[in-house]
Structure 1
Amino acid sequence: MSSTRIDHSPGRELADDTGAFAWLRALGPRGRRAFGGAFGGYALDSYDFFTLPLSMVAIAAYFGLDSGETGLLTTVTLVVSAIGGALAGILADRIGRVKALMITVLTYAVFTVACGFAPNYETLLVFRALQGLGFGGEWAVGAILVAEYTSARHRGRTLGGIQSAWAAGWALAVVVYTLVFHFLPADTAWRVMFWTGALPALLVVYVRRNVEDAPQAAEVRRSSAERGSFTEIFRPRLVRTTLFAVLLSTGVQGGYYTLATWVPTYLKTERGLTVVGTGGYLAFLISGAFIGYLTGGYLTDRLGRKRNIVLFAVLSAVCIVAYTNIPAGANGLVLVLGFPLGFCMSAIFSGFGSFLAELYPTAVRGTGQGFTYNTGRAVGAFFPTLVGFLAGSWGVGGALVFGAVGYGLAVLALLGLPETRGRELL
């Protein structure tokens, strides 16, 4: 039995607390409220993102889109998210983590709902791009908020817990999708899916009332002459870190968003699954993702940030090739392999929150993390579009293999970055 005595100063746990949830107890009351706000924000961020991939077949049919135009809807979201993420990072450094978090959540909620009212493809493209402004900023701001309440000892597991919110939001989106598309005609159902994206607005009320910045970070913001800006992260002492962190983020997210965008379409068009069948298969993928986030968080503390990324980059690439080369009719095998695919492509993300936070000093942490993560997301966003164009000649399954290239880029990027396990945030 472990002791539960906690030093409630943010991120400082007593050495004798070694229980399974020591990382959560060590946050203290304020840190746990911050964790709840960041978890909820990222879960609903995920929910709002997946309203598009899950509705993609219906949207394409409604507006008469080809695969390239359909893939562009995801790409524009992710490209604009780079701008939103970078701006949110600067806001986090200048006005505080909590205020920036509320702005990002409200932004992605408002424009997700607006997508449901789009009268044509061009309008939908614009609304989806604007949704990307909030979508891009939420993760970076929420991850930094929690990282600054966490000690080096537990940071990987704690931020892995935040990452697992993505799977929770994805699962909620699949449940709602299954129900909405089962009871409503497809021409109406895709609009209803976007309208349910208003849910995150409720979270803002909780954050406003209960969450505050970590005291040390707030003090640095008040007293430091440095302010978040792009100039700061490209100064000689940080430029190498910034460039290689962008490449790392590009590789991992290029592989991930290729799968997140096109697997639902692959299951319907090439595996012949119904709406309910697709939901069932995705349940295995998402279950693997949730466990992968938690496991990856644990391993990034045990193995180190870089080793964890290398391990799951290799395993993710192998899973993509295996998943897309299953013989026709062997849908049971698709079901089985969905779990390890979701596990590996999610476990690689668990170290991102802690790794990127540890690469930058407090005064520019928001700017550095927001810029590198979301610029990588924007460049990686062209992977789904390329898959859309390749699908015409290769088939969706064949084109999905291109996602494995991204994981190779991620491994190469690590050659230019230091190992940060055990580093306290300064």
Structure 2
Amino acid sequence: MQEAGMSKNKNYPQKDKKWYEEINRNQWKTVIAGGLGWALDSMDVMLYAMVVVHIMSELQLGTTQGGLLTTITLVASGIGGMLFGLIADKWGRKFSLTLSIVTYSLFTAACGFSQTLTQLIVFRFILGLGMGGEWTAGAALVTESWPAKHRGKAMGLMQSCWALGYAIAALITAIILPKYGWRAVFFAGILPALFTLWIRGHVEESNIWTTDREKRGRVNRNIMNNILELFSPEYKKFTLLAFGLSLMHLFTYWGLFSWIPGYLSLPPEKGGAGLDIFKSATWVIVMQAGGWFGYVLFGFIADSIGRKKAFTIFFTVATVLVPVYAVTRNEIALLLLGPFLVFFGAGFASGFGPLIAELFPTHMRATAQGIIYNSARAVSAFAPLVIGSLAEVYGLGPAFLLIGACFFLGLILLLFLPETTGKELESV
């Protein structure tokens, strides 16, 4: 009897591992590196939004000049994403990530020394280069380090850190601005540079990239070859479709969410919701909570049911939600709809890193992610201007209908993309 009992215990089925138990220490470190880099990126970029009114007052700038600085930063981020993608494919994901963080940290702090609009434009432009570069390098490092079945989760965790960085920027401003002024707020932006010391000492380079470099001998490869290969017959279709989806995403994000605070606070006769300052801020904070969950959960959903199905669900709901939100004036309805709008209207951003990574081979992966995503980011820099121009004629609410149309366009583009969920990233 005892022998039978022992046999039964021996053959008793073990519980399956939880997904997070399948991730090793280095893989977690890549997400920490990419995620914190992205959060600190968000923090440095959003510090400007927090103090722009004070900058305009001291430097005697108008609203057009204040908006121009945002556009310049976004255009530069597109250029930076392409540049650092090439660097990541040539010299490594870890090196590119470190360099991008140092770049945006140093030039955020430099903004605090600006005495003229010209100086601020130069510093914001170089800051933007690092901003775009961080996502490119971080996305390549994370997607290549994590197993295929959990790649979406990894990028969801990384992408969600943007919302955390936004909150950190608000906290820093609240602490420093009243006592020390807007220049000191920018000086705090140097702190992310210290984070690179941890990356250099604790994060390993992508094994896939290292193996590919050794097998192909690509240390001296002309990086222009990677750019040309994006438009070769083999990859041109994927390049154009991924660019179209990226442009749809970034145009809708900057076109919609850069104007949401204004929409909430503008009086109804000007096409807004007419909320006071306190309510507008509260409504925006509640919305960002929905965004955080959207970023994280999209990765889990995409790993479970597939990239295309997950994108389809989010795009479909966003196509409906944007027009509904645009015509809503009831305060409680706006509060309740807001988190869902950001959840479905922005959460799918987590899917672009894995999607582009799975469409292109290792030797050109970071180049593809950098050029496709960030060229779309550069074009989308004009989204706030387009929506603002339409709002002058029709009001912000009706102008948001263009955003709903963009989500519908995204649904059409999805029809032509292959399903890539579970694809292993081969080194050659």
Q: Which band: TM-score by shorter chain?
A: 0.7 to 0.9
Query: Which residue is 1:221 aligned to?
Result: 213
Paired residues, what number?
Answer: 402
| Aligned: 1:306 with 2:308 | yes
* 1:50-70 alpha-carbon deviations (Å, 9 max, x no partner): 223344444455555555444
Q: Gapped runs of 5+ residues in structure 1?
A: 1-14
Residue 288 of structure 1: aligned partner: 290
Q: Distance in 2 between matches of 1:147 and 1:83?
A: 22
Query: Cα gap change, 1:388/1:122 in structure 2, threshold over 3 Å: closer, same or farther?
Result: farther
**C-alpha deviation, 1:101, in angstroms:** 0.2
Change (3 A) 1:281 1:100: same
**Aligned-partner Cα distance in 1 for 2:31–2:216:** 26
- For residues 32-73 of structure 1, give each alpha carbon's deviation from its aligned partner in whole angstroms, at most 9, with x where no partner exists: 111111111011111122223344444455555555444332
- Asked whether 1:273 is paired with 2:279, we answer no
User: By how many angstroms is 1:153 displaced?
Assistant: 1.1
Rounded to whole Å, the distance in 1 between the matches of 2:160 and 2:202 is 22
Moved more, 219-228 or 131-140: 219-228
Check whether the contact 2:59–2:115 (CA below 8 A) recurs between aligned residues: no
1:173-232: per-residue Cα shift (whole Å, max 9, x none)?
233344556x35xxx754444333222112111101111113232111232155443122
* Alignment-mate amino acid for residue 130 of structure 1: I
Whole-Å separation in 2 of the counterparts to 1:357 and 1:311:
21
Cα distance, 1:236 vs structure 2: 1.8
Match of 1:132 among 128, 134, 139: 128
Q: Which residue of 2 aligns with 1:6?
A: none
Structure 1 CA distance for aligned equivalents of residues 48 and 265 of structure 2: 15
Q: Cα offset for 1:417?
A: 2.2
Is the aligned partner of 1:170 residue 2:162?
no
Q: Secondary structure at the match of 2:350?
A: coil
Counterpart for residue 202 of structure 2: 210
One-letter amino acid of the counterpart of residue 338, structure 1: G
Q: SS of 2:42's equivalent? A: helix
Q: TM-score, normalised by structure 2?
A: 0.86
Larger Rg: 2
The aligned amino acid for 2:245 is L
CA offset at residue 384 of structure 1? 1.3
Instruction: Say if 1:242 and 1:372, in contact at 8 Å, map to a contact too.
Output: yes
Q: Percent identity?
A: 36
Aligned partners of 1:255 and 1:60: how far apart in 2?
Answer: 27
The match for 2:261 is 264
Structure 1 letter corresponding to 2:341: L
CA contact (8 A) 2:208 2:362 kept: no
Which residue is equivalent to 1:4?
none
State TM-score, norm by structure 1.
0.86
1:121 paired residue number: 117
Q: Counterparts of 2:379 and 2:15 in 1: how far apart (Å)?
A: 45
83-92 or 317-326, which deviates more: 317-326
Per-residue deviation, 1:161:
1.0
In structure 1, distance between residues paired with 2:401 and 2:184: 32
Aligned residue number for residue 316 of structure 1: 318
Distance 1:146 1:352 in 2: 12
Aligned-residue offset at 1:358: 0.4
Are residues 1:103 and 2:99 paired?
Answer: yes
Partner residue, 1:417: 417
Ranges in structure 2 where 5+ consecutive residues have no aligned partner: 1-13, 268-273
1:199–1:392 Cα change, 3 Å: farther
Secondary structure in structure 2 of the residue aligned to 1:420: coil
Say whether 1:36 aligns with 2:32. yes
AA at the equivalent of 2:155? L
Tell me the distance in 2 between the aligned counterparts of 1:409 and 1:125. 34
Q: Distance in 2 between matches of 1:44 and 1:347?
A: 19
- The 1:77/1:117 distance shift into structure 2, 3 A limit, reads same
Structure 1 counterpart SS, 2:258: helix
How big is the shift at 1:119? 2.3
Question: d(CA) in 2 for partners of 1:370 and 1:16?
Answer: 41
> 1:138 offset after TM fit, Å?
0.7
Which stretch shows the higher mean deviation, 56-65 or 72-81? Answer: 56-65
- State the superposition RMSD in angstroms: 2.4
Q: How far apart are 1:267 and its partner, in Å?
A: 3.7
Q: Distance in 2 between matches of 1:300 and 1:338?
A: 23
For residue 378 of structure 1, what is the amino acid of its counterpart? A
